[in-house]
Amino acid sequence: MDKKERLFELRKLLKQYNYEYHTLDKPTIPDSEYDALFRELKDLEAMFPEEYDPTSVTEHAGYEVLSEFKKVRHDKPMLSLDNVFSYAELKDWAKKIEDVYGAIDYAVEYKIDGLAMNLIYEDGKFLRAVTRGNGIEGEDVTSNVKTIASIPKAIPYQYRYEIRGEIYMPKASFETLNAARRQEGLEEFANPRNAAAGSIRQLDSRIAASRGLDGFWYYVPDDINASSHYDSLLYAKKLGFTINDTTRVMKDIDEIYTYIEKVITIRHDLPYEIDGIVIKVNDYRIQKELGFTSRVPKWAIAYKFPPEEASTIIEDIFITVGRTGKCTPNAKLKSVKLQGSTVSYATLHNEDNIRDKDIRINDTVIVRKAGDIIPEVVRSIKEKRDGSQVPYEFPNVCPVCGAKIYRLASEAAHYCINSECKAKIVEGIAHFASRGAMNIDGLGVKRVQQFYENGLIASFEDIYTLQAKKDLILALDKFKEKSYQNLIEAIENSKANSLEHLIFGLGIRQVGEKAAKILAAHFRHIDNIMNATKEDLSMINDIGDITAESIVDFFADEHNRAMINNFKLYGLNMTYQGSEIKESPFTNKTCVLTGSLSHFTRAEATDLLESLGAKVSSSVSKRTDYVIYGEAAGSKLTKAKELGVKTISEEEFKEMLGS
């Protein structure tokens, strides 16, 4: 296909995707892919100006208006925004403006992922709510928007007043809605944005009223009450409109980009979805001089966050076996770029997940990656099935050792219970040597597998016999003298680790890194843990009955007790080397951290609280004692206030620490 043919193909594709996203509220590709195709089309249209088409999606902002709703023409076109995706592009956009006007102020706002809406008031009364539609005319959805409690039904302003913003569905409302739809056997909404749009387009306003919608308002066309965008928002707030309090004025693009990077790290803590940051020239005079194109204002730009979702094809489904014997289904994907890295595999979690989402081999699927979490398959796109898709049958036997696998009554996972399963042995040893455990650099899964297959290692204790097997190790493929020396040094250094590293490395069911530290700090020596009763263990804060029983069962096994004795013979430290837990206002308190902290990293604050005897949780509940919050704190802070949980600012936290 030549470039001109590609241009025509893209115009057709993007019109279809636009219709699915805006009109049907059922997108079949992620936003990131639409953005990439849109940019490709713009480049091709610039290459072939003779093929200009005023109906191209690059020439207008909007979508087809549904016939079920009355059409209303906007007083002024309701435009979209141009996007940038990098610091360099943002800098280039600002430079064109600053070359003319010099240093200027910018209003910086969260880009709410919702449905654009225009509200009109006459003589102080709420007159009409209209969607963006095709940018020239939209849908009259007044009866549905009126059900949103935060939108004022009257304002202290006796003239015509028009304000634009975004109707969105809070994350909590989205989760409640999808849970209810699951119970009713209905198709779930793909994301809060589509749920909000679908709710506003209901013909029965009672449905919209039940969906827990909200709105933020961010633009007043031709506002005569202010000389700048930010002042206009402050005036709108006085009138009773909800303005996002994170909006701020900044003077420097470098400062703005630092802010963008900071927001990316906390976006998942917010009670609503955002997909970028909007930067607007603050001065209305300059805005007016810069003007508009047919589709976008020249005085505003949206910095879009790196994509967390992409579509690709499942080429195969296979099972991996972990150190506990857990059998996890995984998808082999057609490689796709996601958050700057190439993704070729994703987890499918368990058999129920595959069945409930109807995921099949050869399916086109949406995959998601948030932060450092392993990519997962979000959903299949059934509209793209062509008959080649194959349903997956979960196996009855372990793919590694051939032993029968079992599903525990209390879990969704299947397990291989064969103690001689190679995968369990290799993964278990690699876990023992991992950074959070004994921290033996050079003894990852591939190296452990190589040693296991060559008869050099088959248990945790065997790690401490490797020094006597130098000739056999150096005979292995790609193993040199320097690698051997580094490995032996790391093994020797591991003997001095504090007790919690050993406990975590043992792989006791239900005992993670945090529980291992609690046990070590409480009992101080391995012998005390080995001889503790279930009652002794259950009395410890954060060690529940199930965990206590698992610990007792582990050390009741004579093989495990013999292993500990062997470790003592090899010279491993068996005592806790951390400091005593100090009595403090946080002792035996459950704390939650939220927002962006200025004086601590999240890990530093967590370690500090734990050293003071606190439990640090990731979620807020009635059992939470304190929520410690930093800048741009979101849903966790809101929930704490709703539940009456004590909230502590970072500055107050520092004062309580005496620093």
Active-site residues, by number, are 111
Tokens of residue 520, six digits: 């070590």
Q: At which residue do the structure tokens 């097997």 appear?
A: 469
| Contacts (Cβ under 8 Å, ≥6 apart) of 542 | 514, 515, 518, 615
Which of 632, 597, 634, 592 minimizes the C-alpha distance to 609?
592
Helix axes 445-453, 422-432, angle to 10 degrees: 130
Taking every pair of Cα atoms in the chain, the longest distance, rounded to a whole number of angstroms, is: 91
Q: How many residues make up the chain in this entry?
A: 659
- Between CA 351 and CA 345 the distance in angstroms is 17
- Between CA 656 and CA 652 the distance in angstroms is 6
**Main-chain phi, psi angles of 54, to 5 degrees:** -65, -15
- Between CA 507 and CA 324 the distance in angstroms is 8
Helix (H) or strand (E) holding 276: strand 274-281
DSSP character for 292?
Answer: B
Q: What is the 3-state secondary structure (H, E, C) of 377-410?
A: EEEECHHHCCCCCEECCCCCECCCCCCEEEECCC
- According to DSSP, the β-strands at 590-594 and 626-629 are parallel
Instruction: Find out whether 630 and 595 touch, Cβ atoms under 8 Å.
Output: yes
CA dihedral (187, 193, 199, 200) in degrees, to 10, reads -150
Instruction: Find out whether 318 and 332 touch, Cβ atoms under 8 Å.
Output: yes
Q: How far is CA 118 from CA 61, 138, 143, 287, 359, in A?
A: 14, 9, 14, 20, 39
Q: How many CB atoms lie within 10 A of CB 514?
A: 15
Instruction: Find out whether 213 and 166 touch, Cβ atoms under 8 Å.
Output: no
Q: At which residue do the structure tokens 């115009």 appear?
A: 11
3 state SS of 23: helix
Spell out the long-range contacts of 640-643 with Cβ–Cβ below 8 A and sequence spacing 24 or more: 640/592
Instruction: Find out whether 11 and 41 touch, Cβ atoms under 8 Å.
Output: yes
| Contacts (Cβ under 8 Å, ≥6 apart) of 378 | 190, 309, 365, 366, 367, 368
DSSP H stretches of helix in 557-595 = 558-570
- Between CA 168 and CA 199 the distance in angstroms is 10
DSSP character for 564?
Answer: H
